[in-house]
Structure 1
Amino acid sequence: MGLARRRRALGYSQEELAQLLGVDRTTVGRWETGRIAPQPAQRRVLAAALDIGLHELDVLLDPLSAAGEGGADRRTGSSPGPLSAGDPDDMIRREFLRVLTISGALAALPVEEVEALTDGVRRSNPADFTRMNGHLWQVYRLARSKGSVSPVVRDQLTALSEALDGPGSEARSLLGAAADLFQLAGEVAFDANRYADAAASYTLAASVSREVDAYDLWACALVRHAYVEISEHRYGQAAQMLGVAERLAGRGDGALSTRHWVASVQAEAYAGLGDLGACERALDRAEEVRELPSDGGSRGWLRFDGSRLVEERGARYVRLGRLNLAEATLNEALHHMDLASGQSLRRRGAVLTDLAAVGVKRRDPEQAVVYGREAAVLARASSSGYLARRLRSLSDEFGPLARDHRVAELGAEIAALQGAP
């Protein structure tokens, strides 16, 4: 079937595509053999994942029906004919409902904070959703536990879905807010190590952004999706996705820092591929963000201002095995953090984890334990799934060092962290 060929051409296994879409692998298999067809809400997400339009998807699913040959359409029971995007309002409502099913509540925010935010959302007119989303991004960034923001994001999704269902609703005017909010939902899921949920949210964000030619939003959704690939060590796929994001950012608003963020994440993918030259060139492009105005035209969903480039450069050097460069750069990053105020626990913990990784690669148990334990303390304090995941990857590299009782104890601490996979 054409669907299977397209999947293989993009490098996906059935399991990987199923995870991306939030369905079972057998469902993908049935689509490919023609036993069942994707539901309307799944079609748009599937088309986005395969990087094709809805009509092209129809052709892959059922060439004869899409070409107008044959009898009734097996999906609808009606006479054949092209299945276009259909009713945009209905399609978007269905996608919101799908995301609502995967954005379940985790730990709650303080009651008074939840009530204040949700009351504000319920009072909002559709035109206010972008402003409310910006406020939610700020709450997300300041929250010690990223998962605690999930109930508020869920409420905002519900309110936006209800606005689309309301009388006189114009779905297109809300799509930008929808793409923004899907990315935030994905961030919450990603921090909790729910990769399938995160990937589904980012795919929806990219799909909705494409509907309204919101190139910067679209590019940022792909960047966030690339992080999922990087976390699974699929650096080649991440680099391909980031190449698309780079082209989209080139069509976006030159006053925004989108293209510089793309370059920063490209550096991480190239480091994973072992390409020092490409990594350095990408980091140099990212450094050009400093030439933008101080706010870089930032948005809630885009906050790349170059302030993290020192620590990111250090992390890339760790990946590439340039340990002396990595250690000097990461210590510089820590020094900057010590001078600044209000730094996130997750961000500092990531730098400490990278310094511990330098110790592991040098087979220096003292360095690995000192930095690793401090990072584990921050991971517990923040309940960060991201830090727990980074530390678990660190412990997987202990190897012979684990014979040292101090390293073994650190491994046990890491294994006990909430959110560790």
Structure 2
Amino acid sequence: MPQRRQRLIQRRKTLGFSQERLAHTVGVERSTVVRWESGETEPRPWQRPKLAAVLKISLDEVDELLTQHVNEEPEAERLDFVLRNPAAVDLVAVAHLAERVDRLNTEYDTAPSASLLADAGHSHSQVTLLHNFAPNGRIRRELCISLAESATLMGQLVWDASQRRDGAVSVQYFDQAITAAREVGDPILEAHAQLRKGFVALYGTKDAREGLRLCNETAIVSRNASDVLAGLGFLHVGEAYAMLGERRHCEKALGEAADSFGRIHKDDEALHMFSPTQFDRLAGSCYLFLGVNHKAEQILTKSARSLVRWKKSQSIALGNLTLAYIRQGKPEEACGTLHEAIDLIEETRGGGGLNIAFTAGRELGPWCHEPWVQEISDRLFALMAT
């Protein structure tokens, strides 16, 4: 059975790297670093010089880290000590907390948000505590990054778990993330939190003008830092214009989004936020708002089938596809896709999909006497009850 390479793990944490950040710096997937540390695989010969440079050690020392499995001080005990003595915070404790936040972020798209809230809130309070005591320098910088990431995650989870009702608390978390990101001059973290604030305006308060402003700010902040985030900003600018019924401006923004996505490089730090399906999903939503339902149907049909890995997003796409069917007088097709959306919502409890499903259920009202519509109604009532 493979043994964990504790010395490799300790070296990474001493330098303040999370698994994801080390992977990005070396130029591999996070799962590759996970396998290296678990003892399942070893770095390839051509990867070792880069790994040695990043870890600031020699190639011989890399070999030692890969072959020695020394039991180090338990991470939980070290973190407990630092939390009791915040002034003693070090990069090892910071990296341990950063990994917790990374793990929770990874789980976000597949697990019910309410199930993550307790762990995320606990980690966020710990990051906030240590940030308040951190000295200037690298430790504080790393904690600012973790604080921005955990605050953004908390905003997302509260927003989702409240079924998109608790926008005020979510915005407070996003503002905290923006402040932390600005402290270290990280436009990617800032733009991500700005984008999430835009979602609250677009889907919560239904203030399309405010959503337009925030999403445009996202595109501006990230323009020179991440084509992924700039593209996402432009996508939601397009959606805001669609909500306002301004098709020409909407399609111009969609074109800018497509241009940004076309420039994405493999080194983009926000690459993990990008999916090739995003453009079609949002373009379909735009045409749905604009009342061009046949075009929305065509785009969303393609998008929904491509979102298998992103269950919360897939439930939204299926919900919007349902609305496109209903508005063209296709209730039976609508019921089929709505059942699929509800299957995913029951699994993930995603607030966005849930709201769209209830909207679709109301729009099926003219066919309420049909038994297959009654079945949909029963499932929606069951969702309300839980």
TM-score band, normalised by the shorter chain?
0.5 to 0.7
- Amino acid of the structure 1 residue aligned with 2:322: A
Unmatched 5+ residue regions in structure 1? 1-115
For residue 293 of structure 1, report the CA deviation from its aligned partner.
1.7
Q: 1:268 aligns with which of 208, 214, 239?
A: 239
2:118 aligns to what? Answer: 151
2:108 aligns to what? Answer: 140
Shift of the 297–210 alpha-carbon distance from structure 1 to 2, 3 Å rule, reads closer
Determine if the alignment matches structure 1 residue 184 to structure 2 residue 149: no
Q: 2:322 aligns with which of 353, 356, 362?
A: 356
Shift of the 347–247 alpha-carbon distance from structure 1 to 2, 3 Å rule, reads closer
Shift of the 157–220 alpha-carbon distance from structure 1 to 2, 3 Å rule, reads same
Structure 2 CA distance for aligned equivalents of residues 167 and 280 of structure 1? 47
1:314 aligns to what? Answer: 284
Residues 260 and 287 in structure 1, CA contact (< 8 A), matched pair in contact too: yes
Q: Percent identity?
A: 19
Deviation readout 1:220-239 (Å, 9 max, x if unpaired): 21110111111132111111
1:278 aligns to what? Answer: 249
Shift of the 117–167 alpha-carbon distance from structure 1 to 2, 3 Å rule, reads closer
Determine if the alignment matches structure 1 residue 298 to structure 2 residue 270: yes
2:311 aligns to what? Answer: 345
Structure 2 CA distance for aligned equivalents of residues 398 and 120 of structure 1? 57
Kindly tell me the number of residue pairs found equivalent between the two proteins.
296
Residues 277 and 303 in structure 2, CA contact (< 8 A), matched pair in contact too: no
- Amino acid of the structure 2 residue aligned with 1:190: W
For residue 169 of structure 1, report the CA deviation from its aligned partner.
6.9
Residues 349 and 379 in structure 1, CA contact (< 8 A), matched pair in contact too: yes
For residue 295 of structure 1, report the CA deviation from its aligned partner.
5.3
Determine if the alignment matches structure 1 residue 385 to structure 2 residue 358: no
Structure 2 CA distance for aligned equivalents of residues 126 and 200 of structure 1? 23
Q: SS of 2:273's equivalent?
A: coil
1:163 aligns to what? Answer: 130
Shift of the 407–215 alpha-carbon distance from structure 1 to 2, 3 Å rule, reads same
For residue 377 of structure 1, report the CA deviation from its aligned partner.
1.9
Residues 357 and 394 in structure 1, CA contact (< 8 A), matched pair in contact too: yes
TM-score (norm 1): 0.63
Q: 2:301 aligns with which of 322, 331, 337?
A: 331
More deviation in 322-331 or 203-212? 203-212
Unmatched 5+ residue regions in structure 2? 1-73, 83-91
Structure 1 CA distance for aligned equivalents of residues 125 and 240 of structure 2? 35
Q: How does 1:14-413 map to 2 (within 5 A)?
A: 124-126=92-94, 129-141=97-109, 143-166=110-133, 168=135, 172-173=140-141, 174-192=143-161, 193=163, 194-232=166-204, 233-250=206-223, 252-253=224-225, 255-288=226-259, 289-294=261-266, 296-298=268-270, 303-337=273-307, 343-413=309-379
For residue 278 of structure 1, report the CA deviation from its aligned partner.
1.7
Q: Which 4+ residue blocks in structure 1 deviate beyond 6 angstroms?
A: 116-121
